[in-house]
Amino acid sequence: MANVRPFKGVRPQKHLVERIASPPYDVLNSKEAREMVKGNEYSFLHITKPEVDLPEDIHLYDDAVYAKAAANLKAFMEKEWMIQDSAPCYYIYKQQMGEHVQTGLVAAASVDDYENDIIKKHEFTRQDKEDDRTRHVYALNANTGPVFLTYQARESLDSFIAAYMEHNASVYRFTSHDSIDVIHTFWAVDDQDAIKKIQNEFDQIPVLYVADGHHRSAAATRVRKMKKDENSGHTGEEEYNFFLSVIFPHDQMYIMDYNRVLKDLNGLSPETFMSAVDQFFTVKKKEETGEAAKPSVCHEFSMFFKGEWYSLQAKKGTFDADDPIASLDVAILQNNLLSPVLGIGDPRKDDRIDFVGGIRGMKELEKCVKSGDYVLAFALYPTSINQLMDVADAGKVMPPKSTWFEPKLRSGLCVHLLD
């Protein structure tokens, strides 16, 4: 059963929460982060992207970067911009993006569960990114970015959380204004009866799934080993045996399309390329443009090429419909077109392909191609949460850039200290 427990969170003062809360570290580059923190000494980016306070030419993995992050977190707490709760709490985090609403539980998830596959994974991690998160967590002695987890929705738990929100005042409520407006509402659950009820509910949940945050969860296991090796009195109950997470029911997850743009045709003429596409897909020219050109069903792709949108429907027999990996749209496109025709063998490493999150819309794909930097774009139908869980249950790994979750979790609402 899933072992998730309350903890003494370090949280912003209420009047500072809007200025402290920031986008996740991995959705901004350093230039964007430097621009965002201008005039805002409270931004949590000073902790998650600490290079903003160092010379622009500093290497992102320089020791000074991690030291600065630790110093900044210490300063935030010493200045009492962020204060630690006096007793362990669960926290409820509700997000509303347009019509979509999702409500998750902020809790400390178990490293043991991660290692024992009670927390199931579906992605490989990159060594450099895993090393970076490990160094960051160890230097700060804290988890500053939550791992995004999900579970098979449980009506009794979801109803209890809904009732708690209805009958208790929130500690924060604000709207973030990034690529899209999101309303964030946050509750601290310190009532012992409520805490016990939540714990009892999770005792009935057999597994959790990593939706987003594989590098952060992998880093937590490495830091736990380091701390364990340093502690001759290790018991397994120390805070470093747990990591910061926000846990949502699966039926509230919103996965958007994760699209592809290509810089060239791998030396093929347009005619030869279209002939190759026709071998694996039923091709029809679309009348629609912009958002109306999005794929409408699984196994349909939209392609923008030579100023036109095309519908590409995967032909029967070109993929194994019973295989949880091969039947994913990202795999169908990769295995039938990107790799054999366009020569993109490893999309993680090939600089001829880029990825565009669905939050940026279909017009962004048109813009990319019309700019001349790319020659064609593919829009995909979103991977479903059930497909993700099927892959994780099978112990397999999804192709890269398969899912784009929205809304993004705000960083800085709650920090988990490892002592």
Asked if the structure places residue 114 within a domain, the reply is yes
- Give the whole-angstrom CA distance, residue 387 versus residue 331: 12
Q: Cα 171 to chain center, whole Å?
A: 24
Q: Is 198 found in the same domain as 58?
A: yes
Q: What is the pLDDT of residue 328?
A: 96
- Do 69 and 171 lie in a common domain? yes
- The answer to whether residue 376 sits within a structural domain is yes
Residue 393 lies in a domain: no
Residues 166, 306, single domain; the answer is no
For residues 192 and 267, state if they share a domain. no
Supply the pLDDT for residue 123: 87
Same domain? 282 vs 412 = no
Q: Which of 171, 147, 173 is nearest to 246 (CA)?
A: 147
Question: Are 315 and 247 within one domain?
Answer: no
One domain for residues 183 and 41: yes
- Tokens read off for 235: 């018991």
The pLDDT value given to residue 286? 94
| Residue 414 amino acid letter | C
pLDDT for residue 132: 96
Residue 27 is predicted with a pLDDT of 87
Q: Are residues 56 and 143 in the same domain?
A: yes
Same domain, 345 and 372: yes
Read off the pTM: 0.92
Q: Is the dihedral of CA 164, 187, 255, 297 positive or negative?
A: positive
241 and 102, same structural domain? yes
CA distances from 162 to 136, 195, 222 (A): 35, 14, 35
| Any domain includes 400 | no
Domain interval for residue 149: 4-254+407-417
Query: What is the pLDDT at residue 24?
Result: 93
Q: What span, in angstroms and rounded, lies between the C-alpha atoms of 299 and 316?
A: 10
Domain count, the chain: 2
pLDDT per residue as tens, the chain (419 positions)? 899 999 999 999 999 999 999 999 988 999 999 999 999 999 999 999 999 999 999 999 999 999 999 999 999 999 999 999 999 999 999 999 999 999 999 999 999 999 999 999 998 888 999 999 999 999 999 999 999 999 999 999 999 999 999 999 999 999 999 878 999 999 999 999 999 999 999 999 999 999 999 999 999 999 999 999 999 999 999 999 999 999 999 999 999 999 999 999 999 999 999 999 999 999 999 999 889 999 999 999 999 999 999 999 999 999 999 999 999 999 999 999 999 999 999 888 899 999 999 988 999 999 999 999 999 999 999 999 999 999 999 999 998 889 999 999 999 999 999 99
Q: Is residue 386 part of a domain?
A: no
Q: How far apart are CA 33 and CA 44, in angstroms?
A: 10
The verdict on 285 and 214 lying in the same domain is: no
Q: Return the pLDDT at 125.
A: 85
Looking at the fold, whether 199 and 78 belong to one and the same domain comes out as yes
